[in-house]
Each structure stands twice: as structure tokens, then as C-alpha cells.
Amino acid sequence: MNKQVIVRFAPSPTGYLHIGGARTAIFNWLYAQKTGGKLVLRIEDTDVERSTEESIKGIIEGLKWLGISWDEGPYFQSQFIEDHKAAAQRLLESGHAYRCFCTKEVLEQKREEAYKKKTDVQYDGTCRKLPKEEVEKNIEKGLPFTIRLKVPEGNGAVRFSDIVYGDIEKKYRDIEDFVILRSNGQPLYVLSNAVDDIRDGITHIIRGQDGLANTPKQILIYQALGVPLPKFAHMPLTLDSKKAKISKRKHGEIVAVHFYREHGFLPWALVNFLALLGWSTVDSRQIFSKEELLDAFSLEGVNRSNSVFEIRRDDPKFFTDPKALAINSHYIKTLPLEELAPYVKIELEKAKIWDEAYETEKRDWYLQTLDLIRSRYHVTTDFITLGRAYFSDDYDLDPKALEKNVLKHEDLKEWLPLIAERLDKLDEYSLEETERVIREVAEELTVKPGVLINGIRTVVTGQAVGPGLFDVLMAIGRDRVVARLRKTPILWGQVYS
């Protein structure tokens, strides 16, 4: 029987959870779920200067919001420093590592020489050859030392097969005897990371492509410690449309998970979008439920070529990748209303236009209205911008719509209040009756019904486009429609009395 899969997401808490990190988390989570394995969350907080509590909180909140659950942790790397030191000690004792007494100045000199020789191998192994007596003398004298791993000599190479990048080899002679413990006793990240993975029993290391640079060294650590190697799967980089690497520094908040939460993304829509960065099905399908994603996803299917995250800053309608917006829009349009409702509630509450009755006696109205207006929306914030007039009397009129559909037709100043009166007097305020009234008035005034319809829509909803007008009139309700139409002359700067 195969061993249970154990994967981990190991973010460094030096900033917010960004889309690249979230994608790595998603791939780990999918793989664990798919194989009946476990996901460990390990916060790599050993870089004390750059790690912050706020970042830890942000990462955990971001994962929870996305719906990514883990089975173990969060563990904190800083709690295991003693383990890392002990591993260095074991390597020293087993002869796989050695003490290096070279001073800063000496190392600097070696670095310069290496630079001149155009080689990456800066350390030439001077202390590897120190006789035992000399080592002991140095220790006695209290000379500071680092601990370096002995990279095997000769023509061999570290070889491994990455699930995504295939066969990779790095020649021993191109890897220097690297430091695993500093002279102040602190372990280096490359050691801590490997020791933690060994302790946590990680079977598959799924991480960003930038981790590839550390992999040969980590494999040497595994081998020196005499433990079996995990499998590696490095995820391709995500680039922007100009082929620059996506980064917090360059792109700012737009690459942060919280940005999507604040800008009206549904968590599953973002997971669905991120899961497709670097991977696709043959038919380039875009919409996946959780079950479908679990079914279709495989690490072997991840593409080697870099994925593109398109940011179009020039068009505010596309404040982020158009594919991400299209996917989010799909979910807004198709989610069962009871599932969508809580997300819209968050927006209405933020805008301070939430009514508790939407949970009770106005529940049906609330759900029907969401259903009526959602078909054109991309983000849940559209409900409080484009859809604000359904939930509040305090809404703005889109200036272009106002100009084109209202102000240009001065007669509407009288016509719309007239319609208000007719609607007010109707015995039955219904789809058929409101339509009849408006067509009737159009005939009486010998004006095209479209002029009245566009004018009414703009005044009553603030928007030029939307669902069928008579449905809109039903949703907004007689009293509010009448009041809004009566106030039309105000739009010309006059007060109607």
C-alpha cells in the first residue's frame, strides 16, 4: 500500500497572502484532498526581522476565507529551532558536515576570487581539510565557526525528477559546501526548511518555482541525514501581461487575496480562477465545482510554461484579470440564491443599507431582487453600486444616463410626474397594469414608449441598463417608484412642489 500523502503550505509571514501563495496553497490542498492525504500549515517565521504577527493573521484569514482547510498546524518554524540545530549537530557527528573557522575577511577574499573566476562556488573547502587536532585547538581557543555541509566530491551530481519540470541535475562541483549553521548558532533557512519537512513527514513538496534553487541543497541534506527523499513539484511562475513576475512590490494590492475579498469576489470563484493558473483541461474549461476540480486536477497536468495573470489598469471595468472577472460573474449569476445572499449582505452592511427584515418578512423580496439584478454583475460590490437604488433611496444617477435619457428630453419633467400620478391611482399595481399605463401615456403624448421607459429606468434606478423595466417597477415597489418619478423635475435644478 502506498504511504499516505502529506503535503504542506509553508508561507513566510513577511506580507499579505498573495495570489501566487494562494495558488500554491490551493494546489497542495487539492492534492491532499484528492489523494486522501493531509495538509500541514507551517508558518516559516524564522526571518525575525521581516516576519510580522499581522502577516500571520492575514495569511490564516485569507486561507479560511478561500475555504482552504488544513489538517495539522499551524506550526511555527521558530518553535523548532532546537530541532534544526540538533540536525546540524548530527551531521557534524556523522562526518557529513564540518566546522569552518574562516573569518569574514578570508571569506570575502574567496568571494572576490570566485567572482574573478566567474564561478558560483565561492567557498573552496579550506576547513574541510583541517586536521582534527587543529579543529580541537581552534575550539579550545574559542574561535567562532559556522557548520558547513560536505558536498560529495567528484564528477557526480544531485539528480531528481520534478513532477512538473522533469529531470533536473546539478553537478556536485557546482555546489559549494554551504553553511547550515551560522557562527551565532542560528540555523540557515535551507536546513530549517528541510528538517521541518522531514519531521512533518512531508511526502510531496509542492511549492513555487523559486524553491527550485534550494532543492539540490535540500536533497543533499536529506541524503546526509539518511532519510528518503520526498517528491518535488514546482509550480510555474505567474507573470503579468508584460511578462514581468507578479510581485507585491511591483503590483501592489492587486496581487493580494484580501483585495479580491474587498472587491466583491466570491471565495470559490477566486479558488477556481487561481487553480487554472498553470494548469488546464484539454477543452480549456473554466468553471469547476469543488468536486469537478478534484476530479480533473493532477500535478502531472501542471504546465511548465509560466502562467499569465492579466492586469489591465487602463480600464476600470477590468480592474483585474478579465478571466477572473468572468469566472466571478458566472458564480454571481448561477449560485443558489441562499448561497449568494450572505455575500451580498456583507456589502449592504458595509454600505450601511442592510435591513434586518431581509432575513425575515422581506426575505422573499430580497432573494427575488438579487435574482432580478444579478445577471449583469461581475462582483458583489455591484449590488451596492449599480444596484444601490433597490436597497436605498439615497442613490446617485449615472451622469451619462442622466444626460442621455433624461435631461435631453425636457418634456420628461412633466411626463414622468404624470406617470407617477397614474401609477399611484392604479387599482392593481402589477406587471400588466404598469406596462399598460406607460404605453397609454406614450400614446396620449405621441411619444415613443422607449423615451418614457429609458427615462423612468434612469430616474428610478440611476442606471441606463438593467432588467426589464416592468420587473424593475415591481421590485422597487409602487410607493418608491411614485416618489422617485414625482421628484424628476429636481434633476433640472427645480424643486417640485
Positions marked active-site = 248
Annotate each residue in 15-44 with x if it binds ligand GLU (CB under 6 A) or - if it does not, as one string. -----------------------------x
User: In the complex, what is the shortest distance from the CB of residue 44 to ligand GLU, in angstroms, rounded to a whole number?
Assistant: 4
User: In the complex, what is the shortest distance from the CB of residue 369 to ligand GLU, in angstroms, rounded to a whole number?
Assistant: 43
478 vs 494: CA distance, rounded Å: 24
Nearest to 417 by CA among 482, 479, 469, 490: 482
Q: Which CB, 70 or 377, lies closer to ligand GLU?
A: 70
* Cell numbers linked to 204: 510531496
Q: Which CB, 205 or 412, lies closer to ligand GLU?
A: 205
User: In the complex, what is the shortest distance from the CB of residue 366 to ligand GLU, in angstroms, rounded to a whole number?
Assistant: 42
**C-beta atoms surrounding 378 within 10 Å:** 25
User: In the complex, what is the shortest distance from the CB of residue 300 to ligand GLU, in angstroms, rounded to a whole number?
Assistant: 20
| 409 phi/psi in degrees, rounded to 5 | -115, 85
Q: Which CB, 264 or 278, lies closer to ligand GLU?
A: 278
Q: Which CB, 207 or 378, lies closer to ligand GLU?
A: 207
The span of 7-15, 105-113, 167-175, 452-460 binding ligand GLU (CB under 6 A) equals 7-15
Annotate each residue in 328-367 with x if it binds ligand GLU (CB under 6 A) or - if it does not, as one string. ----------------------------------------
Residue with cell 493531509: 38
Q: Which CB, 193 or 405, lies closer to ligand GLU?
A: 193
Q: Which CB, 44 or 382, lies closer to ligand GLU?
A: 44
The span of 6-14, 103-111, 413-421, 436-444 binding ligand GLU (CB under 6 A) equals 6-14
Q: Which CB, 205 or 224, lies closer to ligand GLU?
A: 205
User: In the complex, what is the shortest distance from the CB of residue 191 to ligand GLU, in angstroms, rounded to a whole number?
Assistant: 12
How would you class 97 by CB atoms within 10 Å of its CB: exposed for 0-12, middle for 13-18, buried for 19 or more? buried
409 vs 424: CA distance, rounded Å: 23
User: In the complex, what is the shortest distance from the CB of residue 78 to ligand GLU, in angstroms, rounded to a whole number?
Assistant: 13
Q: Which CB, 199 or 376, lies closer to ligand GLU?
A: 199
User: In the complex, what is the shortest distance from the CB of residue 40 to ligand GLU, in angstroms, rounded to a whole number?
Assistant: 11
DSSP 8-state secondary structure symbol assigned to residue 164 = T
Q: Does 193 bind ligand GLU (CB under 6 A)?
A: yes
157 vs 271: CA distance, rounded Å: 39
Residue from 38, 84, 204, 207 that binds ligand GLU (CB under 6 A)?
A: 207
Q: Does 12 bind ligand GLU (CB under 6 A)?
A: yes
456 vs 120: CA distance, rounded Å: 73
Q: Does 455 bind ligand GLU (CB under 6 A)?
A: no
**C-beta atoms surrounding 439 within 10 Å:** 13
The span of 8-16, 318-326, 439-447, 455-463 binding ligand GLU (CB under 6 A) equals 8-16
Q: Does 10 bind ligand GLU (CB under 6 A)?
A: yes
> Which residue of this chain has its Cβ atom nearest to ligand GLU in the complex?
207
Q: Does 385 bind ligand GLU (CB under 6 A)?
A: no
Q: Does 211 bind ligand GLU (CB under 6 A)?
A: yes
For residue 159, list its beta bridge partners: 169
Residues that contact ligand GLU, how many (by CB under 6 A): 7
Would you say 217 and 168 are in contact if contact means Cβ atoms under 8 Å apart?
no
User: In the complex, what is the shortest distance from the CB of residue 464 to ligand GLU, in angstroms, rounded to a whole number?
Assistant: 47
For residue 38, list its beta bridge partners: 6
User: In the complex, what is the shortest distance from the CB of residue 122 to ligand GLU, in angstroms, rounded to a whole number?
Assistant: 23
Q: Is the peptide bond before 13 cis (omega within 30 degrees of 0)?
A: no
Q: Does 467 bind ligand GLU (CB under 6 A)?
A: no
Q: Which CB, 210 or 444, lies closer to ligand GLU?
A: 210
Residue from 7, 11, 220, 273 that binds ligand GLU (CB under 6 A)?
A: 11
The span of 10-18, 220-228, 255-263, 392-400 binding ligand GLU (CB under 6 A) equals 10-18
Enumerate binding residues for ligand GLU (CB under 6 A).
Answer: 10-12, 44, 193, 207, 211
